[in-house]
Each structure stands twice: as structure tokens, then as C-alpha cells.
Amino acid sequence: MSSDPPVTVSATGLGKRYLLWENPRDRLRQPIRSRLSRWLKVPEKQYFKEFWALRDVSFALHPGETLGVIGRNGSGKSTLLQLVAGTLSPTLGTCRAEGRVSALLELGAGFNPEFTGKDNVYLNAAILGLSKAEIDARYGDIVAFADIGDFIDQPVKTYSSGMYVRLAFSVAINTEPEVLVVDEALAVGDAFFVQKCMRFMRRFKEDGSLLFVSHDTDAVTALCDRALLLDHGTVETLGPARDVCNLYRKKYYGQFQDVSGSAAPHLAGTVDGTPEHVPDEDLVDQRLKYINTTPLRNDIEIEPMDPRADAFGQGGAHIVSVDVLDGVSGAPLSWVVGGELVTVRVRTRCERAVERPIVGFMVKDRLGQVLFGDNTYLTHSGVPMPQPADGTLVAEFEFRLPVLPLGDYFIDASIAEGSQSEHVQLHWIHEARALRSRSSSVCTGLVGVPMRRIELRGTKGEDA
């Protein structure tokens, strides 16, 4: 006989009402008028307006499940999280959470700006239910994850918004919660820290319960099992994350789309003559010749390799460098235009003999979604190229860089030993290089792909 799975968060008929007063004096008039109405039969008068931030919201969250909450500004998302976290009391209904709930709500919530970062760690962790001994034991991990250096001993009022989030998120996750509640606060973190947080939340959701609010439907789709769409404080729909996010885009984004067309962007220059013939084996999207003379050119900055990038692996070999080179000259690049031929070069060094080395790379977006990547296994499976101790391996991957939408992207690199299906990671570097797409012609999709041919034909009369 099967039993229902345990529930970590249960909301039933949840509602939150606020009273809106036009004049502060009306707060005094209302109770007086109510008493007069009862005693002297004076007609009842209401000096306030009711505003229901939430009404009749019900859902259940189970261990190992992630629920995304989406909706436009003012739909009640943050109010719902505060009710779950216990910082607000409901007007109607009930909300119960089993186990420790740790919440990252609006920026700076729970921090005293006059206290140092260290003082706020102890204060915030104590509010979340930890004893001083437990905080002492975890303090080193909190500081290491936040990675704000000597600012930990400075007053929080001197922190940037990104430093606020780093410290708050680090405290929240190191209390070992059963339920983690995350509001839009991560939007102000830098790209590297967001990657770090996304990796943590993917690990956390294996056993814990995550309630995640974001306007970024791609983040919700990538991270969440189900999603709850709120509209003016009520539940529009609750279901699989992808289906709910598609409905959200269709219902809300569609009404703001301008389908009447617009003037073409001003061209910074002209391209003369007929495009040169390009061999099939090195196909180029000819539109790029025109796009690249406009403000829509896909300018991508390539940041230096980060020596402090997160890494893991069994050891025995390590990655020395990850470079992006010009595909023609082989020169290292610090800037490139999307659609150009490039080479990603991964240089590794072996501390011991490695019999069947595999070197690979992948490009991820800011949410940690893998856009593309490859490794050397298939190319060299017939010739494994065993490496002795002190040996150096250089892997090069040549390709045309896709046109990247605006945003931050990252290159991970790794060296492993074994086969495609069974291998041991010797060294894997997260975010070895960062790519910053500053302008782009891509309006939808994860990447832009060079097209071999795009044709539009028109007919009239009987030929239609």
C-alpha cells in the first residue's frame, strides 16, 4: 500500500489583506465610527480600501522538489515568500513548513547596517535558529562562500548590493535548511557568483525543497520542476515549469509586442559588390557582412582566465590555461565578433601517467545551461595518446563562434581519464573564461546559428 510523499511546505487557502488609508486621521476615525454605529445606530462608514495581495493560494512542496513562482510586478510573489518564511502572518488560510526554513528575501533583509559583516552573520544565523556553537563551526564556510575578503570586518552599510547578496546567501545556505526560499535578490549578484549559487541550488534540490521567485522564465525552466503563476494575487495556474512559463510568455509578453514593424537600423557603412563565394566546408552567414556594419554587430569581450575559479577533480593532471584564439592567425583574443572562426585551446599538464586522456570544454550561459561543447574522445579514440608523468597535452577546438544574445557566458574546461561513458575527472575548472556579449542581432533563442540560405518568395494571381 503506497503512502503519500511527505510535505515540507503546505499552503491552504492562503490570503493576505492590507488596509489602504487615504488620510492618517482615518485610522482614528474608523474605530470611533464603528462604535458609534453600534451604539447610536449611526450609518456605518468605511474609511479604508481593502487590497488583497494574495487570495486563495494553495500548493504543496515535497522534499527534493523545486517550485518556481512567476508573475508580473505586484502579483504577490514576494508576499507569498514572506508568508512561507514566517515574516508575515496570513489574513486567511494556513501555511505550514516542516523543518528549518532559510530565506533570502529582499536585499539586506535581516541585516543591521551598523554592524560588521561578522556581527550580522551571527545575528542572522541566530535568527534562523542556530546556536553560537553551531555558528562558530560554520563561520569559516560562510566567509569562504561569500568571498568578500576583509569587508567581513567592515560595517554592512559600506557594502555594495552584490556584497549584501553574497553574505546573505552564504548565511542562508550554511544553516542546513530543509526549505530554501530565494527571492529575486540574486539578480543583483555578479555573474560568477550567480553561477556559484545556481550550482549550489542544483545540488540542494536533490534532497531539500526550494521555493524560487524570478522574472527570468529561463531560470525557472532550468531550475524548477513545477511553477506557480500568480496574477493579481490569485493562482492563474500551477503545473510543469515549462508549460507554466510558456503560458506566462504567451499571456503577458504577447500583449506588449509591436508587430507593426520598425525602420531598419542606421547603417554605419556600406558593403559593395556581390558576396564572395564561400566553400561549403567553411560556410559563413552572408548577412553578417551587413549586420557587422550596424550597431547589431555581436561584440564579445573575452576576460582573462580567473586563477581563483572553482575547480574539482581527483588530481593527477591539471589545466594550465584556457585560451580563445583567432581561427586564422592563431593569435590570442580579448575581443571577437560572433560568427567568426575561433579556436579554443586547452593546455594541460600531467603529474602522473595518464593512459587515456580526454580533454574537453563547454560554453554555458549565466544560468549554467550548456549551450555547446566537445571533447577529444571520438577524434582520438583509436589513438588514446597516453601521457607520461610531466607530460603536456594541448587540445584545440576550431569552430565558428555562434552569435550570442546579450549577456554573460562562460567556458568550462576539463581533463579526464577513461572513455566517453566511463571516466574519472582529473581536473575540471568552472568558469575558466568569461565571455561578455555587449551587442547582438539575436532576438530569441539561446544562440544565433549562421544560416546557409534564407529566402522569401512572393507570388501573385494564379501562381499563389
Q: Find, among 431, 361, 367, the residue nearest to 399 by Cα.
A: 361
Tell me, what's the pLDDT at 263? 33
- How confident is the model over 52-75, as a mean pLDDT? 91
pLDDT per residue over 299-343, tens digit each? 889 999 988 888 888 899 999 999 999 988 899 999 888 888 899
Q: Which carries the bigger pLDDT value, residue 5 or residue 400?
A: 400
- In the predicted structure, residue 164 carries a pLDDT above the cut 80: yes
Q: Which residue has the cell 527534493?
A: 64
- Residue 25 CA to residue 47 CA, distance in Å, equals 10
DSSP assignment, residue 33?
Answer: H
Looking only at the bridges linking them, the beta strands covering 209-213 and 101-104 are: unpaired
- In the predicted structure, residue 353 carries a pLDDT above the cut 70: yes
Q: What percent of the chain has pLDDT over 90?
A: 27
Domain range 297-437, its CATH number among 2.70.50.60, 3.40.50.720, 1.10.1060.10, 3.40.50.1240: 2.70.50.60
DSSP, collapsed to helix, strand or coil, labels residue 441 as coil
CB 53 within 8 A of CB 71: no
- In the predicted structure, residue 34 carries a pLDDT above the cut 60: yes
- Burial state string for 327-360 with b = 16 or more CB within 10 A and e = fewer than 16: beeeeebeebbbbbebbbbbbbbbeeebebbbbb
Q: What percent of the chain has pLDDT over 70?
A: 81
Question: What are the residue ranges spanned by the domains of the chain?
Answer: 9-254, 297-437
The values of phi and psi at residue 150, to 5°, are -70, -10
Range name among 176-185, 376-385, 445-454 with the lowest pLDDT average: 445-454
Tell me, what's the pLDDT at 155? 92
- Residue 451 CA to residue 290 CA, distance in Å, equals 14
pLDDT per residue over 262-278, tens digit each? 333 333 333 343 344 44
DSSP assignment, residue 213?
Answer: E
- Residue 71 CA to residue 38 CA, distance in Å, equals 42
Domain range 9-254, its CATH number among 3.90.226.10, 3.80.10.10, 3.40.50.300, 3.40.50.10480: 3.40.50.300
The values of phi and psi at residue 187, to 5°, are -65, -20
Instruction: List, in sequence order, the alpha helices (H) in 205-349.
Output: 217-223, 241-248, 287-291
Tell me, what's the pLDDT at 106? 64
Amino acid at the residue 104: L
- In the predicted structure, residue 240 carries a pLDDT above the cut 60: yes
